[in-house]
Amino acid sequence: MLEDIFQSPTTVSLFGVFVALLLLHLLYSSFSSQNRPEPPGPRPLPVLGNLFQVDLKTIHHSLFILSKKYGSVFQVRLGPKKVVVLAGYRTVKEALVNQAEAFRNIEITPLFHDINQGHGIILANGDSWKEMRRFALTTLKDFGMGRKMSEEIIIEECGYLIKEFEQFEGKAFSNTQVISYATSNVISALVFGKRFDYKDPFLNIMMERNYENIRLMSSASIQIYNVIPWIGPLLKNWRDFKKNIGNSLADIKKIIVDLKKTLDPEVCRCFVDAFLIHKKQLEDSENRNSHYHDNNLLYSVMNLFGAGTETTATTLKWGLLYLVKFPHIQDRVQEELSRVVGSRQVRIEDRKNLPYTDAVIHEIQRVANVAPVLPHTTTKDVTLQGYFLKEGTTVLLLLLSVLSDESEWESPHSFNPSHFLDDEGKFIRRDAFMPFSTGPRACLGESLARMELFLFFASLLQHFRFTLPPGVSEDELDLKPVEGFTLGPKPQQLCAVQRQ
């Protein structure tokens, strides 16, 4: 029968046309690929891709090494998934600033969807994300984010943190938890209108879950889940992660319910109140297509609470370790603080007169490199440095390579506060300093975080000399990070000796 079909003149003609069109398509595709080349990269294996060339637990480090061989724009395959990596200051800036619209979206991995379900401020895209980010920025500024009001909140929390350190009377202790409690209370004051005692179960449990989830997010099994989502229920790490998220959401929901019960539209106490009041106004005007619903409130609060705590606390922990590692730098900071501020409470307005202190804080952020890689996705077809990236391409922005770019920093792999000082000792800004990222996805809490880092850091150094426990030398200090979604230091004991 098949032979009969091909003996028909009409069928033969149609088949000939089909073959001709197929050949034209192949020729066009070949020609197009030559004119729109894809980025280079290591040769992938079938199905597995480049998984044997990338350590999933330290993927930022593996990609940084590959960038030395393949350049500032290259691609790898994580299993069957193609990922384009952008490395170096100029390339990352070109994507996030010069072509911001094309690289605006964050990649919603299966794990990110598990966290936010498409809602909230950080792990979302589209109109909902735009509106939630706009509302959060406006509302938090109204409550003093980065201004005098938040300065008073931070200074008050500095007092609690100093008292906590004083209790140890110069003996060795681990500061890992208490610093997280302090930074968490700053964002809690803005979001919930209250701070928590350092022994409060809510605060303790939330910090414990956050720390555990950051660790789980970097595990190899979770990275594989992001490539092969159906295996999730088979993985203990995934089940533990989901349980932690569910419990944290339940605890936050209880606080929101309590705030709802005492809500007074005439007295806006915090971010939650502002959201609820705006939501009620839209409902009264019969707005049926609003993004102001309970899920966006719940997930936005969780985003603010988590992001507003983790990176700032982690940077402060790194800061104390670097000062212990380099005591001569601690000496210079404390000399400057004593000369300029004396024994009074340090204020934000003092920063302009404390260039060395400010330079040290910036260098801590640069070297600590708390968020080494950011996952984005292209919103449309785009050409970057001559390479073609299709709409929907996963793009990893390697901030590690920006903060250690050898063409931008004089000694990128050393701790050197002079990176931020001119020949006269005055503070200078550096374009390649972007720990908060840049463009539409830049950290919305940057102004608050900068204020916190300065006030906490300077206040602690006014009151304490930080040293290693007796019998431990600077050479024994372990500065290798704990691998996670963010890079934090290993828990280590320090001594906080009160200054005279």
Q: What is the pLDDT along the chain (500 residues), one digit of tens a residue?
A: 434 433 455 434 443 443 344 344 434 444 444 467 889 999 999 888 888 888 877 888 999 999 999 999 999 998 888 999 999 999 999 999 999 999 999 999 999 999 999 999 999 999 999 999 999 999 988 877 767 788 999 999 999 999 999 999 889 888 778 999 999 999 999 999 999 999 999 999 999 998 899 888 878 888 889 888 999 999 999 999 999 999 999 999 999 999 999 999 998 999 999 999 999 999 888 877 789 999 999 999 999 988 888 899 999 999 999 999 999 999 999 999 999 999 999 999 999 999 999 999 999 999 999 999 999 999 999 999 999 999 999 999 999 999 999 999 999 999 999 999 999 999 999 999 999 999 899 988 899 999 999 999 999 999 999 999 998 888 888 888 887 778 899 888 999 999 87
Rounded CA-CA distance 202/181 in Å is: 11
- Asked if residue 343 belongs to a domain, the reply is yes
Determine contact, residues 394/82, Cβ cutoff 8 Å: yes
268 in a known ligand binding site: no
* DSSP-assigned letter for residue 96: I
Q: What crossing angle do the helices spanning 236-261 and 220-227 adopt, rounded to 10°?
A: 90
- Asked if residue 3 belongs to a domain, the reply is no
Spell out the alpha helix ranges (H) of 351-432. 355-368, 399-403
Range of the structural domain that residue 171 is part of: 33-498
Q: What is the CATH number of the domain that holds 420?
A: 1.10.630.10
- Asked if residue 263 belongs to a domain, the reply is yes
- Asked if residue 289 belongs to a domain, the reply is yes
DSSP string, 63-88: HHHHHHHH-SEEEEEETTEEEEEEES
**Sheet harboring 493-498: ordered strands across?**
173-174, 493-498, 464-467
- Asked if residue 248 belongs to a domain, the reply is yes
- Asked if residue 57 belongs to a domain, the reply is yes
- Asked if residue 494 belongs to a domain, the reply is yes
Q: What crossing angle do the helices spanning 201-217 and 294-325 adopt, rounded to 10°?
A: 80
Q: Which two tokens stand for residue 268?
A: 């806006």
Surface-to-core class of residue 204, CB atoms within 10 Å of its CB (0-12 exposed, 13-18 middle, 19+ buried): middle
Determine contact, residues 108/123, Cβ cutoff 8 Å: yes
| Number of folded domains that form the chain | 1
Query: Which run of H or E residues covers position 415?
Result: none
- Asked if residue 24 belongs to a domain, the reply is no
Task: Please name which of 146, 279, 259 lies closest in space to residue 194, comparing C-alpha atoms.
Answer: 259
Beta bridge partners of 494: 173
Q: Which two tokens stand for residue 387?
A: 């390479």
